A and B are shown apart, each in its own frame.
Chain A
Amino acid sequence: MSDVKVEHLGKIVFLPYASGSKSDSLRPFLVRPDVLPLRLHYNGSNPFKEDELFKCADKFCKVIGYKDEKQNVFLVSSVEFVSDGKNI
């Protein structure tokens, strides 16, 4: 896991994850132009509910945290709305 806290801007959307498996669920992703969606997890929250990120569903946000390269998930320590997607 990277030690450096980074921030990303994008739109948070809930997408199907691990279809057909025991983890089949909707999970939050950060969608940005020209890059693959980045799966998000808010540190300490229930990964099957993601209450903190659910509040931000379909909104443009700034997420701050660490990328867990091994699990390919961005571990969010804080999230805030940005007014719109113009600067993304």
Chain B
Amino acid sequence: MKPLLNFCENCGSKIKEITNFCIQCGNPFLSNFDKFDKSSSSAGLENNDIFKIGDFRDYFEYLINIPSNTEIYLFITNTSILVEQLGEEEALLIRSNILNRCGIKDNNCYLFFDFAKDFESEILEWKYHVQLLNYNENILKDRLGKIFSGFIIIGDNSVIPQAIFDDLTDTDANIESDSVYSTLSLHDPWVDQSALEFSRQVSRIPIGNSLLFEDIKRYWQNRDSIKLEDISTDLPFALSAKCWEDASQQVLNEIGSGIVKTSPDLDHTTLMSVWNIYAPWHYFNVHGSSEEADWYGDYLGEYPIAFNPSLAKEIKVLNVIGVEACYGAKFIGLDTESSILIAALKHLTVSFLGSSKIAFGPSTPPNSLADVMIRDYLSGMRSGLTAGESHKLAQKALISALNDCTGDSSLIIKTLLSFNLFGDPTVRLINSNRSNSINLDPLKVEIIDPLKLVRNAVDGSMGELQEKLQNALSTLYPDINGINPIISKYQTRYGEKYRWHWKTLNSGIMRHYIALTDNKGNISDILESK
């Protein structure tokens, strides 16, 4: 490893080139990190201490002694890049903070892996990181017969890169995703199902330009102060764009009942009058954008600011946030003023799930896509699962929909890739015994669809529309002849829209054709996979 000081500590000579020893006196260089590791190890290795001395590969042989039912979580970072980003002192503090969390706790074993040892400060693409984690996991598998239960990414996108995938829905240029650290697959999730096997929990604490050592220190203090028996059993708080009220109410019924608050009825100036800032669970189904920090309501052409970064600091208790908004979990290059995620993690939020890109979901039940992702995450956490387990539960529900062909596959895949988890994946806010004893609000909201008869009638005429569309499109795309499309319905402010999705398989190549129409079959857009 490169020395981090500019002078030899033995003879004082200036270090001009990168070597492992001083060219004047022969003194071997230890980086400050190595010295930290050494001083820690000389303090006496008892019980957990062995896990606190540095990179877990240095003490692989000790892992054989951990109890067989222990789940293994790996902190991953790159300290060389942290040094470049934050300076040596700050990076050392962060590293020491991570190492202090290593060891066996609550049936979990936390280990540390530093990409700096292999990649130094080179910023390599995500595939190299996945390959190296795969390599290490294979050693773990050989010796212990188990895989990592999860990865806790410490650092922003320049420390540990997110994967960047094409967006076959054509709504974004690409999709940034941490999902590759869950699948440890190098394949393309759009064509290879193995790239959608989410076997490991993955969560990120995006330390870097916006979150500093003091923030991560405070985050862990918050996380460690959770007393499962003391967490408020208050109902979840839900804020929805009014145009998606019915779908949001259905989600809230599943999470724990109560009545969804809506915007434009409320905006960021009036929200405080009804917002339960003592609730530990917060659900948002609002608009977001790539350009501005705020989240917006929506109804009949009104788009008021419903929520902003400063409101994230108003919550008075340790909390969990699930948000369906487009770009709801954006963080790259942003700070507390420009990212609600960053503002929330700096305050009292211990877990946050949201999308890096444009999200999809229906306006009315049944819930699908982003609704399902956030519903199952929040209901999992409300039932006593950890954040990582809850996220996996949500991913599993969407994979089931994909396998059962009960939704538009490209939209499901985009949802799976774009929703990323933040905070500690092993955090839980309530234990399962206590969650069973929570009395839910007897006021259950039944969602009545006044247009059900009309909708059924429209559904009934789908066959006719399908024939019309198929005839119109088959001259352009002969592949779709004889293939039944998956049809999904969306409510937009221009009225109801239909998405017709044909999947064809020719010579092993899957192609997607998507047509967007109104309820009369008039085509507004045609998309095809590249």
Contact = CB atoms under 8 A, between A and B. Distances in A.
B170 to A, nearest CB: 9
A24 B303 contact: no
Contact of B305 (A43, A46, A72, A75): A46
Given A46-B305, A48-B298, A19 B516 contact: yes
A59 interface: no
Contacts of A45: 292
A4 interface: no
A44 interface: yes
Given A16-B525, A72-B173, A22 B361 contact: yes
Interface stretch (B94-102, B216-224, B442-450, B490-498): B490-498
Given A23-B288, A23-B289, A71-B290, 12 more contacts: A16-B524, A19-B524, A21-B326, A22-B244, A22-B370, A23-B171, A41-B289, A46-B296, A48-B298, A70-B173, A73-B290, A73-B291
Interface in A4-51: 16, 18-25, 41, 43-49
A45 B435 CA distance: 43
A20 B289 contact: no
8 contacts: A18-B171, A19-B525, A20-B490, A21-B171, A22-B287, A22-B361, A23-B287, A44-B292
B375 interface: no
A20 B360 contact: yes
B490 A24 contact: yes
A43 B361 CA distance: 28
Interface residues of A, number: 23
Interface string B358-382: 1111000000001000000000000
Contacts of B524: 16, 19
Given A16-B525, A22-B370, A24-B492, A47 B360 contact: no
B493 A24 contact: yes
Nearest to B325: A22
Given A44-B292, A46-B305, A47-B291, A22 B525 contact: no
A37 to B, nearest CB: 14
* Chain A contact residues, majority secondary structure: loop
B245 interface: no
Contacts of A48: 287, 289, 296, 298, 303
Nearest to A24: B492
Interface of B: 169, 171, 173, 244, 287-292, 294, 296, 298, 303, 305, 324-326, 358-361, 370, 490, 492-493, 497, 499, 516, 524-525
Contacts of B169: 21
Contacts of A75: 291
A18 B497 CA distance: 13
Contacts of A18: 171, 326, 358
A41 B525 contact: no
A73 B171 CA distance: 13
Contacts of A23: 171, 287-289, 326, 358
Contacts of A47: 289, 291-292, 296
Contacts of A49: 303
B246 to A, nearest CB: 15
Contacts of B291: 41, 43, 47, 68, 71, 73, 75
Interface centre among A19, A22, A41, A48 (most CB of B within 10 A): A22
Contacts of A21: 169, 171, 326, 358-360
A49 B292 CA distance: 12
Nearest to A72: B173
Given A46-B292, A46-B296, A47-B291, A22 B324 contact: yes
